[in-house]
Chain A
Amino acid sequence: MKRIFGFLLGLTLALLLTLFAGENPWNVFTILVRSAFGSMYDLGLTLSYTTPLIFCGLSVAIGFHAGLFNIGAEGQMTMAVVTAAAVGVLFPQVPFPLAPILAVLAALAAGGLWGWIAGWLRAERGSHEVIITIMMNFIAAGLAGWFALKIIPNPESQNPETALISPNYMFKDYDLIARLFPDTPANASLIFAIVIAVLMWIFLWKTAWGFKLRAVGANPEAAHRSGISEKKVQIAAMTLAGALAGFVALSEVVGSAGQYRIGFSPDYGFIGIAVALMASNNPLGIIVSAFLMGALHKGASDLDLETSTITRDFSRIIQALVILGVVAQGYWEWFKHKRRKG
């Protein structure tokens, strides 16, 4: 309940800010809602943001459950997406049902590797995972950019993107969601994301592995004394986090675009932080909060066109204030304290 209040508080504050730009906050709010849900096209775009946000939210959440802050979902996702594109471009002969599976597995491995590096450095060398993952984000952007532009560039376009993957890799013909929302990148990966979220819920609360992971996050010392290796758990958690972020390759490359486009992500990895926090890191809640943040992001990107003074960057303000509204729950006690004093 408090989280919902925190979300509403953050959103309200963000909308009030638009007063400074000479806009009517209520007007901005209606634009947000209309451009998120106004038509099947808008809804399709909202859902196409929801899918990667579920994956990135899960990635951040599994880190939190193990007591780690994974700000590296962005880089892990980038490595995965460029890897999937590379597989699809370099091995065009692989037949259909095998091809997408191969591409996604390669993507998961790349994302997992990127997470593993941060997890290993944290567990074995004690390096702060926040700084390491931020640095890894920059490195991923550099490597992926080089690979996309120098090794497999798109010969038919001047845009910074890779060549298109072979059609064998795409499941468009079987995709009912894509048919429901024509001309949008929405695709069946959404269903897959929901399944993964449910699986992660089962993993965390119904398996011994999940229990160990949460034990390390809740109290590393107690976990250590009861014989759980926190190093192993930290490395495993970051690797899983990387792989979860890597699933974005499914919705982005195999499911819709068919290529890696530099800058395709509006910082999904960072919005994932807000998604995870709003849901208290509960995988099932993440499905809902990813949808909400996806809607806000879609809504905010239309502010460029619909208002004269507010741009798509407004989405970041909303995200930041929502995170603050949710995480700074201390204001309850603070106000109570003030009232007692005064």
Chain B
Amino acid sequence: METMPWILALTLATLRLATPLIFASMGGLMSERSGVVNVALEGFMLMGAFAGAVVGYSYASAWAGWCAALIAGLAIGALYAFFVIELKADQIITGMAFNLLVMGLIPFITKILYSSTGSTPALLVEDRFTFEPLLLAIALVAAISFWMYRTRSGLWVLFAGEHPEALTASGVSVRKVRWAAVTLSGGFAAFGGASLSLFLASSYSPLMTGGRGFMALAALIFGKWKPVPALAACILFAFADAIQIRLQGVKIGGIEIPVQFVQILPYIVTIIALAGFIGKSRAPKALGHQ
């Protein structure tokens, strides 16, 4: 086996697989830095993947799907914001309920649209994205790291998560800041889902996120709730995923590693990352507090 092309291919695969994770963890960052726990990322991603695939297919355009994913994501993000901010529902339980709701709603809608509960029809290969979401993801990280620490509105989000009372004292509504942050969180996570269905694949297939929403959350925690370290963590998890795909069916010393062992690799890496380094990671002070 030639080493150089192999490394190149692995690097490219890692970057591609990192794209959905990066978007989702930036979504998580928005919400959690503003003080709202977000375990609904998985559901938001599914929503984006589904909306993107349906609209992308109907208009034969990945960009149309991309916009649809954004709208669907903002909508479900706003709904989540309504539950946790206005109704003050438990954030983790509500988040899990949102995941369940999306998992139930998508087959419900596909049945109405396509009379099936499986995958959506696929986009033509030339219609789907080739590299764009990856660049957008990296641009988003750059934009957020500038905006959050260097602009007034970015600091509002940080203060909503660290010292909400100080923000209130300076005359800014914590409620509104959190509303905006959580809604955007839905939009970003939905981009992550759409990059699965329009970039890594060309259609929506049931439960295609495979826990990536939770991995993105783990990457966020592993990255100490900071944009660039979270990006690095996403790349680490994506690397585990890329290795996993490469190792399927590979024989080591004449023995094939069972595919199931290989497939659980990214989940194990996630647990090790959370277990090994969380001690140094500090959550936003007001995270989860009403």
Q: Do A and B bind each other?
A: yes
Chain A residues with CB under 8 Å of B270's CB are: 131, 135
Q: A291 within 8 Å of B by Cβ?
A: no
Residues of A within 8 A of B (CB): 17, 20-21, 69, 71, 121, 125-128, 130-132, 134-136, 138-139, 142-143, 145-146, 150, 270, 273, 277, 309-311, 313-321, 323-324, 327-331, 333-334
B261 touches A146 (CB 8 A): yes
Choose one: A126, A277, A316, A328; the contact of B87 (CB below 8 Å): A328
Choose one: B39, B103, B215, B279; the contact of A130 (CB below 8 Å): B39
Distance in angstroms between the alpha carbons of A17 and B274 in the assembled complex? 39
Q: B188 within 8 Å of A by Cβ?
A: no
**Known interface pairs A121-B275, A142-B264. Does A330 touch B89 (Cβ–Cβ under 8 Å)?**
yes
Distance in angstroms between the alpha carbons of A150 and B210 in the assembled complex? 23
12 A-B contacts, Cβ less than 8 Å apart? A125-B276, A126-B279, A130-B96, A131-B270, A138-B264, A139-B271, A142-B264, A311-B108, A311-B117, A323-B100, A324-B94, A330-B87
Closest to B100 in A: A320
CB contacts under 8 Å to A, within B90-110, are 90, 92-94, 96-98, 100-101, 103-105, 107-108
Q: B88 within 8 Å of A by Cβ?
A: yes
Choose one: B90, B104, B218, B261; the contact of A131 (CB below 8 Å): B218
Chain A residues with CB under 8 Å of B96's CB are: 69, 71, 130, 270, 273, 323
**Known interface pairs A313-B103, A327-B89. Does A139 touch B94 (Cβ–Cβ under 8 Å)?**
no
Chain B residues with CB under 8 Å of A334's CB are: 86-87
Closest to B273 in A: A127
Indicate the member of A17, A315, A317 with the most B CB atoms within 10 Å.
A317
Distance in angstroms between the alpha carbons of A189 and B260 in the assembled complex? 31
Q: How far, in Å, is B259 (CB) from chain A's closest CB?
A: 8
A321 touches B211 (CB 8 A): no
B267 touches A69 (CB 8 A): no
Residues of B within 8 A of A (CB): 39, 83, 86-90, 92-94, 96-98, 100-101, 103-105, 107-108, 111-112, 117, 210-211, 214-215, 217-218, 221, 258-261, 263-264, 267-268, 270-271, 274-276, 278-279
Task: Sort A-B residue pairs by CB-CB distance and give the 9 closest, nearest first.
Answer: A316-B104, A330-B87, A320-B101, A317-B104, A146-B260, A328-B89, A320-B100, A313-B107, A142-B264
Distance in angstroms between the alpha carbons of A202 and B211 in the assembled complex? 37
**Known interface pairs A125-B275, A130-B92. Does A331 touch B87 (Cβ–Cβ under 8 Å)?**
yes
Q: How far, in Å, is A158 (CB) from chain B's closest CB?
A: 18
Distance in angstroms between the alpha carbons of A334 and B85 in the assembled complex? 11
Q: How far, in Å, is B230 (CB) from chain A's closest CB?
A: 14
Chain B residues with CB under 8 Å of A317's CB are: 101, 104-105, 108
Q: How far, in Å, is B136 (CB) from chain A's closest CB?
A: 26
Indicate the member of B97, B108, B112, B117 with the most A CB atoms within 10 Å.
B97
Distance in angstroms between the alpha carbons of A125 and B210 in the assembled complex? 25
B100 touches A139 (CB 8 A): no
B218 touches A320 (CB 8 A): no
A316 touches B94 (CB 8 A): no
Closest to A124 in B: B275
A324 touches B271 (CB 8 A): no
Chain B residues with CB under 8 Å of A311's CB are: 107-108, 111, 117
B100 touches A316 (CB 8 A): yes
Indicate the member of B103, B105, B260 with the most A CB atoms within 10 Å.
B260
A143 touches B83 (CB 8 A): no
Closest to A313 in B: B107
B217 touches A131 (CB 8 A): yes
Distance in angstroms between the alpha carbons of A69 and B92 in the assembled complex? 8
Chain A residues with CB under 8 Å of B97's CB are: 320-321, 323-324, 327
Indicate the member of B104, B259, B261, B264 with the most A CB atoms within 10 Å.
B104
Distance in angstroms between the alpha carbons of A21 and B115 in the assembled complex? 11
B111 touches A310 (CB 8 A): yes
B104 touches A127 (CB 8 A): no
Q: How far, in Å, is A221 (CB) from chain B's closest CB?
A: 14
A330 touches B112 (CB 8 A): no
B86 touches A134 (CB 8 A): no
A127 touches B260 (CB 8 A): no
Q: How far, in Å, is B77 (CB) from chain A's closest CB?
A: 16
Q: How far, in Å, is A340 (CB) from chain B's closest CB?
A: 15
Chain B residues with CB under 8 Å of A145's CB are: 260
Chain A residues with CB under 8 Å of B211's CB are: 134-135, 138
Q: How far, in Å, is B244 (CB) from chain A's closest CB?
A: 11
Chain A residues with CB under 8 Å of B267's CB are: 135-136, 138-139, 142
Seed contacts A131-B217, A323-B96, A327-B94; 4 additional CB < 8 Å A-B pairs: A20-B112, A138-B210, A143-B264, A328-B83
Distance in angstroms between the alpha carbons of A311 and B118 in the assembled complex? 12
Distance in angstroms between the alpha carbons of A331 and B215 in the assembled complex? 32
Chain B residues with CB under 8 Å of A315's CB are: 104
Closest to B274 in A: A127
Distance in angstroms between the alpha carbons of A310 and B111 in the assembled complex? 7
A126 touches B100 (CB 8 A): no
Distance in angstroms between the alpha carbons of A134 and B215 in the assembled complex? 9
B279 touches A125 (CB 8 A): yes
Distance in angstroms between the alpha carbons of A143 and B263 in the assembled complex? 10
Closest to B210 in A: A138
Q: How far, in Å, is B88 (CB) from chain A's closest CB?
A: 4
Closest to A328 in B: B89
Q: How far, in Å, is A78 (CB) from chain B's closest CB?
A: 12
Q: How far, in Å, is B43 (CB) from chain A's closest CB?
A: 9
Distance in angstroms between the alpha carbons of A132 and B221 in the assembled complex? 12
Distance in angstroms between the alpha carbons of A178 and B41 in the assembled complex? 42
Chain A residues with CB under 8 Å of B268's CB are: 135, 139
A128 touches B274 (CB 8 A): yes
Distance in angstroms between the alpha carbons of A127 and B218 in the assembled complex? 9
